[in-house]
């Protein structure tokens, strides 16, 4: 599509905005240049983004969480010597690719090594099957880097058949971002094609090396050039809530691990096109549309109307940085405030404004923002990045002549955050990946969330003017299956809609079916109903009933479900208390709720309660 066609697709308002911005850019003074620093053998400071990764690496040097990989299946007569030569040219041209991170005097600094050939790791896996190839790919990705020993990248070539190779390019995130990686592969295959033609024209030297950028970034920050951006984020996030309390499958450990998993899903071409059309009709982006949908999903699961999404953003604000290689990335926080009664189309406008404001203030370092907010609030850590979101446009085909190149999506078995959603757009279909912390979630739970997100997107595309609270997380087929499982006739009568009554009706129809499973423990519907009834009778004897609150303070377990149903059967309201919450918070909730009875295990009770009830 040429530029005229693209302009024709813009609305009058978009064309007016583009003209205004182009006019402003033409009148603006020349952007400040990034001065080169002397190369006298000394080290250079880390950028703010590098500094955060360095600290995390010190916590667990063997962790592969920040190993970034591009895996390509290449079919055709591949010349690995051409690939190796092209990589050596890249390493010589881009200093960051031969930079190590060294601790000196209590701080870390970048130390640039002289150019040297990159060793090529080769393995012949012909005839060994897909499982062996996957194991080899994961081993290459998960092998840790020693940050003081550059280069912090490696290339593994796995021969999988005649004229078929899998190339595994692995780099530590501290030296490279996604934009840079895409540019590097364009350079690699351009150089490869030149060698096929017998040419050896070197690519032009980059305008800016990363070490010069890091010095300039810190000088700009120290001079107060970003104070306006800091003030924007302070206003936006000063009273920010904690992340949504998503239902976890496991108690949160004292220290967050990096083990993780992925659930991949796909939106077909019809749904993908409908979402693009909706974004265009609302004069917004596909990113904002998908972020709004993700916000609705997290709001439902977390029971909150104020959701924080962490979003990666580039810091390439100067033209000379467009072709630079390095870690030019920052983390922005989108604060999404939902009104369940408002149409989704209206909420989408709110998300668009939040995204526009965040992008306009994207240069203030996230690491410094967290420090600033911690000082302002004096409440300890500020958890702004538990939930991540990103939309990426897949690059167009870059295969040299005679080769077929396919990107492979491989699960490295790690996660950098509690839950993240990354969506790739190939121009036809949207491909989503939920990445989750294995210490917190079971794969089945995240897979269910992925199905709900797809159903939500379909409902949004079909009913963009529906109220946010009315959007469905279940497809029509799933809803029919749920009704067929036993709750349909009760719902249709309209005579009894209370949760415990609906449950009792299902238990009467299928008493021997498994109702709840947690680890090795399980109960049938009949067993769960009987246990809840016994508890309800005990609660009633203690004074529970309509208008009364009962505290429910149990670990995630089968007993937790018994306790919830028992309280409801007694006619009371339940007040959930997480045993891992601070004691002061639990005591305050108890006082405010007026609960005089607590369902809890005696071994877990560390706060004063008027009546203690042990669950049998």
Looking at the DSSP bridge assignments, the partners of residue 78 are none
Higher-confidence residue of 600 and 210: namely 210
Contacts of 163 (CB under 8 A, 6+ apart): 75, 76, 77, 78
- Summarize pLDDT for 76-98 with one digit per residue, the tens: 998 999 999 889 989 999 999 99
- The pLDDT value recorded for residue 616 is 34
pLDDT at 361: 93
Q: Pairing mode, if any, of strands 514-518 and 521-524?
A: antiparallel
Mean pLDDT of 276-292: 94
For residues 593 and 607, the answer to whether their CB atoms sit within 8 Å is no
Mean pLDDT in the chain? 83
Per-residue pLDDT tens digits for 203-225: 777 889 999 999 999 999 999 99
Confidence check: pLDDT of 278 > 50 = yes
The pLDDT tens digits for 337-366 are 999 899 999 999 999 999 999 999 999 999
User: What is the mean pLDDT of the segment spanning 506-512?
Assistant: 79
Listing DSSP states for 111-149 in one string gives: EEPPP-PPPEEEEE-TTSHHHHHHHHHHHHHHSPP-TTS
- What does the DSSP assignment read for 360-381? HTTTS-HHHHHHHHHHHH-SS-
Are 199 and 193 in contact by the 8 Å Cβ rule? The answer is: no
Give the tokens for residue 236.
Answer: 């936006």
Confidence of residue 153 (pLDDT cuts 50, 70, 90): very high
Query: What percentage of the chain has pLDDT greater than the value 70?
Result: 86
Q: Residue 238 class from Cβ within 10 Å (0-12 exposed, 13-18 middle, 19+ buried)?
A: exposed
Confidence grade of residue 180 (pLDDT, cut at 50, 70, 90): confident
| 3 state SS of 485 | helix
CB 284 within 8 A of CB 356: no
Q: What is the pLDDT of residue 107?
A: 87
Query: Where would I find the H helices in 483-544?
Result: 488-493, 499-509, 525-541
pLDDT at 397: 60
In sequence order, what are the residues at sequence separation of 6 or more whose Cβ sits closer than 8 angstroms to the Cβ of residue 234?
A: 372, 373, 376
Tracing tokens 């701080």 back to the chain, one arrives at: 107
pLDDT band at 513 (very low <50, low <70, confident <90, very high): confident
Of 243 and 287, the one with more pLDDT: 287
The position carrying tokens 């896996």 is: 125
Place of tokens 């709004």: 292
Read off the pLDDT band of 1 (50, 70, 90).
very low
Query: Which of the two residues, 603 and 67, has the higher pLDDT score?
Result: 67
Q: What is the DSSP string of 387-427?
A: EEEEEEEPPPP-PPTT-EEEEE----SB-SSSEEEEEEE-S
Mean pLDDT of 253-274: 89
Closest CA to 321 of 390, 399, 170, 220: 220
Percentages helix, strand, coil for the chain, rounded to the nearest 5? Answer: 45, 20, 35
Q: Which runs of consecutive H residues, i.e. helices, occur in 420-497? A: 443-462, 476-482, 488-493
Cα separation, 438 vs 520, in Å, equals: 19
Which tops the pLDDT comparison, 120 or 398? 120
Query: What gap in Å lies between CA 56 and CA 415, rounded to an integer?
Result: 13
Query: How sure is the predictor about 23, in pLDDT bands with cuts at 50, 70 and 90?
Result: low
Pairing label, strands 387-393, 419-425: parallel
pLDDT > 90 fraction of the chain, expressed in percent and rounded: 41
Provide mean pLDDT across the span 425-446. Answer: 91
Whether the per-residue pLDDT at 481 is higher than 80: the answer is: no
DSSP 82-106: HHHHHHHHHHHH-GGGGEEEEEETT
In 3D space, the residue among 533, 528, 535, 534 whose CA is nearest the CA of residue 550 turns out to be: 535
Q: What gap in Å lies between CA 90 and CA 187, rounded to an integer?
A: 8
Q: How far is CA 234 from the centre of its chain?
A: 23
In contact, 264 and 420? CB cutoff 8 Å:
no
pLDDT at 383: 62
Residue 596 · residue 544 · CB < 8 Å: no
Answer whether residue 143 shows pLDDT above 90.
yes
């Amino acid at each position: 599509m040429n530029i005229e066609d693209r302009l024709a697709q813009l609305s009058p308002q978009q064309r007016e905005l583009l003209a205004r911005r182009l006019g402003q850019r033409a009148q603006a003074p020349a952007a400040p240049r990034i001065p080169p620093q002397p190369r006298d053998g000394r080290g250079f400071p880390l950028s703010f983004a590098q500094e955060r990764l360095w600290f995390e690496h010190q916590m667990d040097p063997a962790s592969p969480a920040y190993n970034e990989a591009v895996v390509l299946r290449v079919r055709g007569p591949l010349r690995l010597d051409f690939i190796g030569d092209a990589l050596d040219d890249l390493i010589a041209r881009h200093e960051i690719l031969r930079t190590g991170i060294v601790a000196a005097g209590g701080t870390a600094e970048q130390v640039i090594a002289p150019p040297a050939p990159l060793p090529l790791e080769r393995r012949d896996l012909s005839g060994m099957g897909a499982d062996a190839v996957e194991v080899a790919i994961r081993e290459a990705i998960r092998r840790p880097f020693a940050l003081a020993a550059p280069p912090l990248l490696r290339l593994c070539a796995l021969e999988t058949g005649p004229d078929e190779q899998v190339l595994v390019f692995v780099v530590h995130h501290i030296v490279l971002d996604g934009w840079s990686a895409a540019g590097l592969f364009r350079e690699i295959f351009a150089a490869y094609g030149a060698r096929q033609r017998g040419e050896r024209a070197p690519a032009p030297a980059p305008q800016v090396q990363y070490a010069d950028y890091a010095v300039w970034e810190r000088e700009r920050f120290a001079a107060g050039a970003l104070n306006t951006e800091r003030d924007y984020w302070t206003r936006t996030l000063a009273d920010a809530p904690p992340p949504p309390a998503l239902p976890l499958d496991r108690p949160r450990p004292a220290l967050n691990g990096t083990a993780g998993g992925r659930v991949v899903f796909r939106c077909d071409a019809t749904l993908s096109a409908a979402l693009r059309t909706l974004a265009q009709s609302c004069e917004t982006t596909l990113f904002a549309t998908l972020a709004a949908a993700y916000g609705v999903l997290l709001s439902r699961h977390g029971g909150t109307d104020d959701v924080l999404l962490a979003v990666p953003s580039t810091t390439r604000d100067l033209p000379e940085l467009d072709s630079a290689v390095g870690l030019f990335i920052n983390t922005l926080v989108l604060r999404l405030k939902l009104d369940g009664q408002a149409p989704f189309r209206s909420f989408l406008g709110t998300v668009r404004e939040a995204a526009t404001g965040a992008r306009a203030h994207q240069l203030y370092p996230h690491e410094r923002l967290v420090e600033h907010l911690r000082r302002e609030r004096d409440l300890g850590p500020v958890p702004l990045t538990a939930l991540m979101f990103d939309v990426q446009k897949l690059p167009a085909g870059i295969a040299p002549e005679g080769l077929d190149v396919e990107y492979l999506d491989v699960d490295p078995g790690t996660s950098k955050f509690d839950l993240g959603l990354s969506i790739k757009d190939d121009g036809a279909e949207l491909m989503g990946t939920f990445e989750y912390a294995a210490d917190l979630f079971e794969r089945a739970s995240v897979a269910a969330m992925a199905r709900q997100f797809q159903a939500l997107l379909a409902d949004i595309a079909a009913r963009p003017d529906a109220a946010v609270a009315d959007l469905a997380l279940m497809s029509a087929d799933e809803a029919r299956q749920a009704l067929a499982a036993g709750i349909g006739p009760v719902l249709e009568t309209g005579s009894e809609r209370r949760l415990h009554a609906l449950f009792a009706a299902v238990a009467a129809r299928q008493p021997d079916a498994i109702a709840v499973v947690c680890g090795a423990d399980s109960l049938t519907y009949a067993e769960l109903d009987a246990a809840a009834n016994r508890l309800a009778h005990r609660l009633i004897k203690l004074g529970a009933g309509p208008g009364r609150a009962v505290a429910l303070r149990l670990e995630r377990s089968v007993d937790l479900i018994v306790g919830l149903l028992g309280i409801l059967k007694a006619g009371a309201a339940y007040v959930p208390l997480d045993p891992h919450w601070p004691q002061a918070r639990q005591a305050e909730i108890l006082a405010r709720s007026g609960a005089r009875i607590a369902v809890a295990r005696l071994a877990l009770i560390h706060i004063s309660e008027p009546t203690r009830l042990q669950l049998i």
